[in-house]
Each structure stands twice: as C-alpha cells, then as structure tokens.
Copies of this chain bind each other. A is one copy, B any other.
C-alpha cells in the first residue's frame, strides 16, 4: 500500500453469489438456486458467469455488491456478506483480475425479478462456468452449509414470522438431509435466536403451529 505499483496493473471486480430456495425441477424438493449471466464477449464468450462487474471508483465494495443484487434479482435489502477475495494468477482470462465476492440470501417470500440475460440454476448442478466461478460457487455453498450449523443465518430465508417447521425446512433444503423435528425444535429454542410471537398459523384446524420471529435482527458482523 505504501509503494507505487510499477508492474502490470491488476483489475478489480466485485461479484455476488445469490442463493434462493425453490423446488428442484426433477424431485420437487426445496433446494438452493442461484442466478447466472451469460457472457456475450471474450474471454469465455457464451459461458455462464456470476453477476458482477468492475468496481467503480466512487463505490464501496458492499455498494457494488448490492447494486449487482438489485440489478440481478430486483432485491437490495436482504442478507449480504463478503464471502472471499479470489485472486489466483491462473483463474482465467488474459487480464489479471481479483474478484471480491459477496454472497446474498433471498427470502422465500420475495419473488426475484425476471431480468433479461439472467437465468437461474440449481446451485449444486451449475454447468462449466467462466473463469474460476465453479470454485467460487462451491466455496459459497461450503460457507452457507457451514454457517447455517452455527449461526442463525437460516432466518434470512424465512419471512418476519415463521413456524419452526418453516425454519427446519430451510435447514433441510440447505443441508440436503432430513432433520428430526423434535431435536431441531429443542436446539433452536435452546439457542435463543427465535422467540414466539404469541400468535399461531391462521386457519389450521387443530393445534395450530406457533409463529416465531428472530430474537435479534440478523446482521453481518463486518467492519464497514
């Protein structure tokens, strides 16, 4: 940071991995999806890539990521966190580019906008992507699956009020396994991350499920 840069310049891009939960096209089971954009120029022309672009000098990193989120799914106010910066020399393309990658979670009750040039893919079944984006997506999935086990991040996928079954369904979809309802209930309530609203699901005939809300707003603990 202290010296002038004398060699070849390094480009800086900001990309965003955006996860949403929708039914799998074959099995119908809830699963993770993400939006990709098709490249219309070299390198990797015709390949799918993560949405994003060069960092404008007047934008903070997170501002750039939020703009990508907005332009890709039409949603800006949702969980958004820095994932990792990818900068291997051999990550593809002629220009040396470092990508600061963010990840975002789309709540189940928000319908992503239909955007020209954007297509949604099952996150675990993406085709061969441009650059090192397959590795980026895999790392995003790893992070999500790790973090959901030790943080209340699943709350980002549900609405303001939800049943414990709603929350368990999110865990099951993300982790791709069934979870024992009684164990899950016990663990979530012991964790103190949700509190009962005192209200119940309307219209359920017998023993309507209790509704819960987040105990504290879900925020990312980040420096800026």
Residues on A lying within 8 angstroms of B by beta carbon are: 1-5, 7-13, 15, 37, 39-41, 49-50, 52-61, 82, 84-89, 93, 96-100, 131-132, 135-136, 138-139, 142, 150, 221-224
Q: Are A8 and B57 in contact (CB-based, < 8 A)? A: yes
Interface contact A89-B2, CB-CB below 8 Å = no
Chain B residue numbers with a CB within 8 Å of A99 are 1
The reply to whether B53 and A1 contact each other, CB–CB distance below 8 Å, is yes
A149 vs B25: C-alpha distance when bound (angstroms): 40
Are A96 and B221 in contact (CB-based, < 8 A)? no
**Residue ID in chain B nearest A96 by CB atoms:** B57
Residue in B9, B93, B223 whose CB lies within 8 Å of A84: B223
* A47–chain B nearest beta-carbon distance, Å: 11
**A12 — which chain B residues lie within 8 A by C-beta?**
10, 12, 98
**For residue A15, which residue of chain B has the nearest CB?**
B1
Shortest beta-carbon distance from A108 to chain B in Å? 28
A1 pairs with B97, CB closer than 8 A:
yes
Bound: A58/B6 CA distance, A: 12
Chain B neighbourhood of A15, CB < 8 A: 1
Distance in angstroms from A109 CB to nearest chain B CB is: 31
Chain B residues within an 8 Å CB radius of A54: 1, 3-5
Distance, CA A50 to CA B1, complexed state (A):
9
Contacts of A82 in B (CB 8 A): 84-85
Establish whether residues A88 and B224, one from each chain, have CB atoms under 8 Å apart when the complex forms. Answer: yes
Q: Chain B contacts of A131 at CB under 8 A?
A: 1
Known contacts A85-B100, A138-B223; 4 further A-B pairs (Cβ under 8 A): A1-B13, A60-B88, A82-B84, A150-B150
